[in-house]
Structure 1
Amino acid sequence: MTLSFLLTSLIVVVSPGTGVLYTLAVALTSGARASIAAAFGCTLGIVPHMLAAMLGLAAVLHTSALAFAALKWCGVVYLLYMAWQALRETGALAIDARPEEARSSRRVVVTGFLINILNPKLSIFFLAFLPQFIAVDEAHPLGRMLELSAAFMAMTLAVFVVYGLFAAGVRDRVITRPKVMAWLRRSFALGFAALGAKLAFAER
């Protein structure tokens, strides 16, 4: 596994996106345990894209305008729905004053999973990025791709957990200040809406 792959992957993972935003929001609203569930859900959402790339479905998504548009607009709608939830303080982003009695981790995981599975750019990422690190004469290209994908997912989980635990660490100072929470809700809503708009204008 090359250092260039690890460094490039780290840059991609650390860069703020839907997964990072969701993990931070969950950490601030529901605490550390829920943030880990969110990180796991977002990481799990990578699996379908990895499998699509390995099976060649990502190539279909890349070449078919209709398939790309269908998945893209599902993602846009879901991100706007998340923005609406953030503003209304409902769903997975509702404030839980007692994190030890937080809402079902399954719900948090499923939401994180959906956020990433509805992002068609991830499939394109696996189609265009990972093959660059697989030698032309590689004896087992699928095995190599699986290895690189697993490393990418492990890095994603680790980075998201760090993000979440940091946010959960300052949670008590934040939720006791209504004005700060109101500002954060608007910021998260704006962030989800902005990512939805960015996805809406995304090209294949």
Structure 2
Amino acid sequence: MDALGIQHFGAFLLACIALNLTPGLDTFYILARSSREGHAAGLAAALGINAGCLVHTSAAVVGISAVLMTSALAFAALKYLGAAYLAWIGLRMLLTRTGAPRAATATRGEGAAAAFRQGMLTNVLNPKVALFYLAFLPQFVALHAAHPQLGLLVLGLSFIGTGLSWSLVLALLGGRIHRLLHTRPRLGTAMDRLCGTVLLGFGVKLALQQRA
């Protein structure tokens, strides 16, 4: 760890666990996908979200995320793209036809591939996540070390590891909810409305956010 400049690794892991356990967009999205389509879609959503985290880790290592911190235009462009994408997903769920069979309502982009793709995009298109990586990871790396970039990469992968573990738990939990909704179509329709409203709300919240 010394060559990588990593400091207080134990404290870093505890912070990762605490942050991952804090409910947010990722938590809700995984539960929404798995409760509507089953644990397979939830697992794919979890993998997609963490693939997005890998993109942010790579961007932080090479310094691309710094552009978002210094460029108001770049930040705004990514923010509004992300907000529009979340709003689009939310609206499609809100407009689900009442009483439609559960098997045909796979988030209007059916299957694990769509869950992975949407999960990754909701993460990649959130500039706040990029800024978080840029601000959080360097606190645990001595930048005068021989290989600080590798240190940042190891920390980013460690964060992804803790996040993926929790994401998989959420996907399996959502799968249990899916079995309940499958036998109660009215409850399933209500869940669609709730999920759509919350995702739309996340989109509005992202659109209104400012750079820290």
TM-score normalised per structure 2: 0.86
Contact kept in structure 2, 1:18 and 1:195, CA below 8 Å? yes
Q: Which residue of structure 2 lines up, in the alignment, with residue 23 of structure 1?
A: 30
Residue number in structure 2 paired with 1:167? 174
Counterpart of 1:52 (choices 47, 59, 78) is: 59
- Residue 149 in 1 paired to residue 156 in 2? yes
Partner of 2:86: 79
Report the CA distance between 1:11 and its aligned residue: 2.1
Greater mean deviation of Cα atoms: 140-149 or 12-21: 12-21
Aligned to 1:133: 140
Once the two structures are TM-superposed, the CA of residue 154 in structure 1 deviates from its matched residue by: 1.2
Q: Does 1:183 align with 2:190?
A: yes
Q: Which residue of 1 aligns with 2:13?
A: 6
Contact 2:102 2:185 in 1 (8 A): no
The match for 2:204 is 197
Looking at structure 2, the residues matched to 14 and 191 of structure 1 have their Cα atoms a distance apart, in angstroms, of: 19
Does 2:124 align with 1:117? yes
Residues matched between the structures, number: 199
Deviates more, 1:13-22 or 1:78-87: 13-22
- In structure 2, distance between residues paired with 1:68 and 1:133: 25
Percentage of matched positions with identical amino acids: 36
Aligned Cα root-mean-square deviation (Å):
2.2
Q: Work out whether residues 102 and 188 of structure 2, in 8 Å CA contact, stay in contact via their aligned partners in 1.
A: no
Task: List alignment gaps of at least 5 residues for structure 1.
Answer: none
1:112 and 1:11, CA in 2 relative to 1: closer, same or farther beyond 3 A? Answer: same
Question: Does the 8 Å contact 1:39/1:160 carry over to 2?
Answer: yes
1:139 counterpart SS class: coil
- Aligned pair 1:64/2:71, yes or no? yes
User: Please, which moves more after superposition, 189-198 or 73-82?
Assistant: 189-198
Shift of 1:42: 0.7
- Distance of aligned partners of 1:106 and 1:131 in 2 relative to their CA distance in 1, 3 Å threshold: same
Structure 1: 4+ residue segments shifted above 4 A: none
Distance in 2 between residues matched to 1:181 and 1:104, nearest whole Å: 17
State the 1:138 CA deviation.
2.4
- Contact 1:89/1:95 (8 A) holds in 2: no
TM-score by length of 1: 0.89
